[in-house]
Amino acid sequence: MKIYIIRHGQTQWNASGRLQGQTDIALNEKGRELAARVGAALKQIPFDRVISSPLIRSVETAKLVLRENTGRAGELLRAGGKEAGASQAESPIAVDRRIQEISFGEYEGYSVPVSSLFAGDAKFAITDPDFHNFFDAPEKYVPPKGGESLSCLVERTGDFLRELAESKEEQGREEIVLVSTHGAASRALLANIKHTMLKDFWYPGVPKNCAVSIAETRNGRWELLEQDVIFY
């Protein structure tokens, strides 16, 4: 099995540097354009299926990538989710909460005013002086009230990857799967694949919108083939 992990396209909150987390923000026009351009670049990659975060920015990105895709998932999307031999309930895009973005709890919609990797609009700035650890020292990050730890994010995305690898063994055939997710969630997926320590969570940086990383299972283990490929 080979997977293409894509971070969603740009949203207006991305553009203004606000933390979205699990707040359901749609793509802006630039985000739609980026996703469509990646879709054109990956048009000949025959995606068998797509798994997306349930958040609208990821689902919309997946749909735009699939719009002209030559694989079964693209055909199923253009057929309105139905094709000859497909079940009534079958959809080209399955959603999985394990790959939705990390929750920032009470800080969603706010920004990090000072960080080596990220800077947001000062009028939405988080006043907690230690929050910059989320980017600068992830091993020291303490989530705000109602938020989620990076360790929990790594755990749930790791569970997702294990289940995917097991499904390959059960089906006994190779698949190409598009995984549409988020910035931190995509880094958590790669942390599981590369077995990196939490302090290196963001290496080499926050992925750009619509950056694509490619991995495959070999002898039951995930291996990273390419990281943060830009197709626009």
Q: Residue 173 is part of a domain; what is its CATH number?
A: 3.40.50.1240
Residue 108 is assigned to a structural domain of this protein:
no
Instruction: Give the DSSP letter string of 156-193.
Output: HHHHHHHHHHHHHHHHTS--EEEEEE-HHHHHHHHHHH
Q: What is residue 116's predicted lDDT score, i.e. its pLDDT?
A: 60
Instruction: Output the pTM of the full model.
Output: 0.93
Closest by CA position to 41, among listed 2, 6, 81, 77: 6
Length of the chain: 232
Residue 103 is assigned to a structural domain of this protein:
no
Residue 72 is assigned to a structural domain of this protein:
yes
Residue 137 is assigned to a structural domain of this protein:
no
Which structural domain, as residue segments, surrounds residue 91?
2-98+150-229
Q: What is residue 2's predicted lDDT score, i.e. its pLDDT?
A: 97
Distance from C-alpha of 13 to C-alpha of 96, rounded to nearest angstrom: 23
Residue 212 is assigned to a structural domain of this protein:
yes
Residue 51 is assigned to a structural domain of this protein:
yes
The C-alpha angle with vertex 206 and arms to 204 and 207, in degrees rounded to 5, equals 95
Number of domains in the chain: 1
Tokens for 66, please give them. Answer: 């699939």
Residue 54 is assigned to a structural domain of this protein:
yes
Q: What is residue 24's predicted lDDT score, i.e. its pLDDT?
A: 98
Q: What is residue 167's predicted lDDT score, i.e. its pLDDT?
A: 83
The b/e string for 212-228 (b: 16+ C-beta within 10 A; e otherwise) is bbbbbbeeeebeeeebb
CB 12 within 8 A of CB 179: no
Cα 157–chain centre separation: 10
Residue 120 is assigned to a structural domain of this protein:
no
**Sign of the torsion formed by the C-alpha atoms of 63, 54, 145 and 148:** negative
Q: What is residue 13's predicted lDDT score, i.e. its pLDDT?
A: 95
CB 52 within 8 A of CB 45: no
Distance from C-alpha of 59 to C-alpha of 81, rounded to nearest angstrom: 14
**CA distances to 9, 76, 82, 201 from 85, in Å:** 33, 11, 8, 43
| Half-sphere exposure (Cβ direction) of 92: Cα atoms closer than 13 Å | 27
CB 21 within 8 A of CB 104: yes
One digit per residue, the tens of pLDDT, for the chain of length 232 reads 999 999 999 999 999 999 999 999 999 999 999 999 999 999 999 999 999 999 999 999 999 999 999 999 999 999 886 444 444 345 789 999 999 999 999 999 999 866 666 667 788 889 898 999 999 999 999 999 999 999 999 999 999 999 999 886 666 668 999 999 999 999 999 999 999 999 999 999 999 999 999 999 988 899 999 999 999 9
